[in-house]
Amino acid sequence: MKSFIISIAGGSGSGKTTLALALKRSLGRKASVFSLDNYQRFGRKLSVIDGIKNWDHPSAVNWEKFVADLKALKNGKAITTTHRDQANLKFPRKIVFKPNQIIITEGYLLFHPLSVRKLLDFLIFTSAKEKTRVSRRRKFKNDKYTKKVLLPMHRKYIEPTKQYADVVIDTEKLSLTECVNLVRKRLKI
pLDDT digits (tens), the chain, 189 positions: 789 999 999 998 899 999 999 999 999 999 999 999 889 887 667 888 888 888 888 999 999 999 999 999 999 999 998 876 655 556 678 889 999 999 999 999 999 999 999 999 999 999 999 888 888 875 566 788 888 888 889 999 999 999 999 999 999 999 999 999 999 999 988
pLDDT, position 86: 59
d(CA 76, CA 8): 21
Strands 48-49, 52-53: parallel, antiparallel or unpaired by DSSP?
A: antiparallel
pLDDT, position 139: 59
Q: Which residues contact 63 (CB under 8 A, 6 or more apart)?
A: 39, 113, 115, 116
pLDDT, position 82: 82
Q: Partners of 104 in the beta sheet?
A: 6, 33
Question: Is 119 exposed, middle or buried (CB count within 10 Å of its CB: 0-12, 13-18, 19+)?
Answer: middle
DSSP category for residue 135: H
d(CA 96, CA 83): 10
Give pTM, 2 decimals.
0.92
Is-contact 124 166, C-beta < 8 A? Answer: yes
pLDDT, position 27: 96
pLDDT, position 149: 86
Is-contact 20 106, C-beta < 8 A? Answer: yes
pLDDT, position 141: 67
pLDDT, position 3: 93
